[in-house]
Structure 1
Amino acid sequence: MTFLEFKDSIKSDQPPLDLAIPLKALWYDGKGDWDKAHHEVDQLNDTSSALIHAYLHRKEGDIWNADYWYRRAKETRSQMSLEEEWQELVIRFL
């Protein structure tokens, strides 16, 4: 799947069946459903999920919590716009 195909899939009611959890969370976020996106990664401990979790808390405006999750992901907080970070994360996990 390409980035454009992923972005186009957001028009559907349900995410594609074969999406890994980080991409599924980003898919829900792309649809504007922060709660479902957060629910996808909330109980997971892997670094990929931690990175998505960090992005979501940054988007929420909870920078302290975002920084905690960026550290768990062994990353630093992105300085790019939220839209750019979302795109970068989608591409990274595709």
Structure 2
Amino acid sequence: MSLPLRDRTEPPEEPLLRALWHGLRGEWAAAHALAQADPGPHGAWVHGWLHRIEGDLANAGYWYHRAGRAPGRGTTAAEGEAIARALGA
């Protein structure tokens, strides 16, 4: 089994996994720029998660809706790792 994404020392190559890596490390601006660049549903999912971290739940809800996902529950760290696994990390 591989390391959790937040424990990896190097960021992944894939942009959305890189966004999650940055987000899990508290590097919100870098993560947001990467997520915002992806127009698809996975990008919207990561984008929603990032706005949840930020505490902007209305904006997060908008992005979760665009992704076709329910807003996350539990900790944002656990959700970030779950998204990373779903995206192939």
Measured after TM superposition, the shift of residue 91 of structure 1 is 1.1
Question: For residues 6 and 63 of structure 1, do their structure 2 counterparts lie closer, same or farther at Cα, with a shift above 3 Å needed?
Answer: closer
The TM-score with structure 2 as length reference comes to 0.86
Measured after TM superposition, the shift of residue 5 of structure 1 is 6.1
Q: Deviations over 1:58-92 (max 9, x none)?
A: 01000000000000000110112112101111111
Q: Does the CA-based 8 Å contact 2:6-2:25 persist in structure 1?
A: no
Matches of residues 12-23 of structure 1 in structure 2 within 5 Å?
12=10, 15-16=11-12, 19-23=13-17
State the identity %: 33
CA distance in 2, matches of 1:88, 1:63: 19
**Matching residue within 44, 51, 64 for 1:50:** 44
Q: Does the CA-based 8 Å contact 2:24-2:77 persist in structure 1?
A: no
The number of aligned residues is 88
Report the AA paired with residue 84 of structure 2: V
Matches of residues 1-94 of structure 1 in structure 2 within 5 Å?
2=2, 4=3, 6-9=5-8, 11-12=9-10, 15-16=11-12, 19-93=13-87, 94=89
Q: Deviations over 1:25-73 (max 9, x none)?
A: 0111122210000000113210000000000000100000000000000
Report the AA paired with residue 8 of structure 1: D
The TM-score with structure 1 as length reference comes to 0.82
The structure number with the bigger radius of gyration is 1
Any unmatched runs of 5+ in structure 1?
none
- Structure 1 segments, 4+ long, off by >4 Å, are none
Any unmatched runs of 5+ in structure 2?
none
Report the AA paired with residue 37 of structure 1: A
